[in-house]
Amino acid sequence: MNSKLTDEQQTAICSQLGNVKLNLLYKASIHGFTGEAFHKHCDKKSPTVSVGYNKSGRVFGGYTSQPFSQFGGFVKDDEAFVFSFSGERLNKYSVNNSSYAVRMTKNSGPNFGDTLILVHKDEQKVYSNQSSFTGYLYTKYYTFTAEKMHGNDLDLTDCEVYQVEECLQFENPWRTVTWTSEEKEKLMERIKSYKPSISSVSEARVLLVGQVGAGKSSFFNSFKSIFKGRVSGQAINGTCSTSVTSQFRTFIVKPEHEEKPLPLILCDIMGLEAKEGEGFHVDDITNIVSGHTPDTYQFSPSGPLHSEAQGFCKNPELKDKIHCVTYVVDASTISIMPQNMEDKLKAIRKKVNLHRIPQLVLLTKIDEACPLVKKDVTNVYKSKYIKKLVRIV
């Protein structure tokens, strides 16, 4: 049997589940659009991803960690969610009441809380419990609009159910790292002894750019803690939906028991937000990279720093400019990154390209993205899923 999901769609689904792959169990166009055929191939199998395809070309479905059966009642599942695709982009809708996440119905296919049912009552149909008052589907169990889920097209062309299987790790790591304290000391010494090639610049200034919650400030605090030899929290960090950082800040790190600071200055900015008019203003990036923005400058989402503003550095020297831009990306949310956020990152990169300076990508929260890495961080370069994420980013 051939899967109708594209590689990109499979990757987007798997990104929500960890280091896994999808194994096709049931395909209605081959096995039949009946509850009997569905249960024959899918009962007692878990976890599963169910996918519906309609005549309008929409792709949608749901995930449950619970095995299917025919007993007729609801099953609790804290991990269940339903989803739809906009192109290759996954829209995820988590369960509101986990006690009613999945219902085991005999004469239908996958049933997500009586809110979304594929192969409904042995017909080539999808069923949605539509509220005539709000336009939203029954909000007790899942909340989404019929238009976003399946475009109000209830005629199925196919239905597929996949078993979610854990991927085997690579036998050999795809990047070689020696995970020893001696190697760590060597890496730290390389940073301490680094010298820019131009004598007028004593420290390289590295700018951290990323979405709200990606972990820019947390990364700096971790970096500083390593050289301090103890937990240190100079940069403000948190898990708010809006940026915790509101100013342009430059941070130096002075290693424990040493007089000189590191030859690196890490620069932090306000986090990017998908919504227009909120978060870091993209046009501020030129002023920062060019060295016009003073330390502690208070960002304004409404507009960038003007040349006549107080503190604007009109004649910056090379040492005041940014020498490297690092994009900090949350590995656990790559597949559901809003299009507006992707557009903002591309706009920033386009502006940075004009300055001809190095650009790097830092993937954070890799333990949340991959269970293999969560178990042991030294598995990061053995993880097939992390390697795939790196390629996507």
Separation of alpha carbons 8 and 88, rounded Å:
6
Q: Residue 336 is which amino acid?
A: I
In the block, residue with structure tokens 């304004």? 300
Q: Judge residue 200's burial from the number of C-beta atoms within 10 Å of its C-beta, 0-12 exposed, 13-18 middle, 19 or more buried.
A: exposed
Give the model's pLDDT for residue 79. Answer: 93
Q: What is the pLDDT of residues 313-338, one digit of tens each?
A: 999 999 999 999 999 999 988 878 88
Give the model's pLDDT for residue 244. Answer: 57
DSSP 263: S
Q: What is the C-alpha radius of gyration for the chain, rounded to an integer number of angstroms?
A: 25
Smallest Cα–Cα separation from 102: which of 65, 129, 58? Answer: 65
Pairing of strands 204-210, 324-330: parallel
- 385 φ, ψ to 5°? -70, -40
Q: What is the pLDDT of residues 225-247, one digit of tens each?
A: 999 998 877 656 555 555 556 78
**What would the two tokens of residue 34 be?**
């009946």
Q: What is the pLDDT of residues 272-319, one digit of tens each?
A: 998 887 778 888 999 999 999 998 888 877 788 888 888 889 999 999
Q: What is the pTM of this model?
A: 0.63
